[in-house]
Structure 1
Amino acid sequence: MPRYQPEPRPYELMVLFRPDLAEDGLDAAIERVSSLIQEAGGTVTNIKRDTPWGRRRLAYPIQRFQDAIYVLYHFTCPPAGTRDIERELRLNEQVIRHLMVRLDE
């Protein structure tokens, strides 16, 4: 009997990267998160890393950092794939915080 596979849903993911990443290291970290999404069966539709995002002051220190580099991802993914993405983000040492929300249709 075939299992029910839910349709991919739209998500928004905000990732705060360490501020001490060099420009090429930041590009690699952004690409790494994009590949995580694709490995989970998702499709990245937009990556926003410039105005109004980018390097910003934090409201309170996280670990020992006062600043962070904000990157916003929009993507579609099957619901089961989001667990894998969040697990990998928690293990990634370049990510100091992340938040994934499902967008309303």
Structure 2
Amino acid sequence: MGESEQKVAKEPTEETAEVTGATVATEVSALPAEAPAVLPKTPPKGSKSYELIFLVDAALPKEELDALIAKVQGIIEQREGIVENVRVSDVRRLAYEIKKRTHGVYVVVNFFLLPSQIAELERLLRLDERVLRHMVICTRSS
């Protein structure tokens, strides 16, 4: 490390990860005084607020579920959208069999995106075999 670089003290803390519902250890670092503040992104002009709900098989490994969630977030962000919130349910019994599955995990993603990009998002979800069902609804205009 060069003399001009500062050492930043890191201490581990525990917090609940909203994406996986598990408790994970994270590091909180003390930022130097000259660090710029991170401003929240604003939705692009003309975008609307949407809620995506998709169902995956309960037998899907946690790593694969996390990768699928990251893929969906990446699809939204590549199209200049903003992911606002991601919630993952516990394993739930389905009211009826869907693709020969009786249990599943629901993932809810709230995001902002231009209406012209929704069809492509739905097409990509339809092609992913890990997604049993999905639904995108418009919650409010921005």
TM normalised by structure 1 equals 0.87
Q: How far apart are residue 54 of structure 1 and its match?
A: 2.6
Question: Within the alignment, does 1:19 sit opposite 2:74 as a pair?
Answer: no
Structure with more helix by fraction: 1
Quote the residue 1:94 is aligned against: 130
Residues 24-49 of structure 1 show CA distances to partners (whole Å, capped at 9, x for unaligned) of 11111111111111122211000011
The farther-off stretch of 77-86 and 33-42 is: 33-42
State the distance in 2 between where 1:54 and 1:71 align. Answer: 9
Tell me by how many angstroms 1:6 deviates.
6.3
Unaligned runs of 5+ in 2: 1-43
**Percent identity for Structure 1 against Structure 2:** 34
- Give the Cα separation in 1 of the matches to 2:45 and 2:120: 16
* Total equivalences in the alignment: 98
Q: CA deviation at 1:55?
A: 1.5
**SS of 2:73 mapped into structure 1:** helix
Residue by residue over 1:51-77, the C-alpha shift from the partner in whole angstroms, topping out at 9 and shown as x without a partner, is xx2311111000110011101000000
Larger Rg: 2
Give the counterpart of 1:46 among 85, 108, 124. Answer: 85
Moved over 6 A (4+): none
1:60 alignment partner, SS class: strand
The DSSP-based 3-state class of the residue aligned with 1:90 is helix
- Separation (CA, whole Å) in 1 of partners of 2:45 and 2:133: 28
Which of 32, 45, 48 is the matching residue for 1:9?
48
Runs of 5+ in structure 1 lacking a partner? none
Please show how residues 25-36 of structure 1 align to structure 2 within 5 Å.
25-36=64-75
SS in 2 for 1:101: strand
SS in 1 for 2:115: coil
Find the aligned partners of 1:79 and 1:43 in 2 and give their Cα distance.
Answer: 13
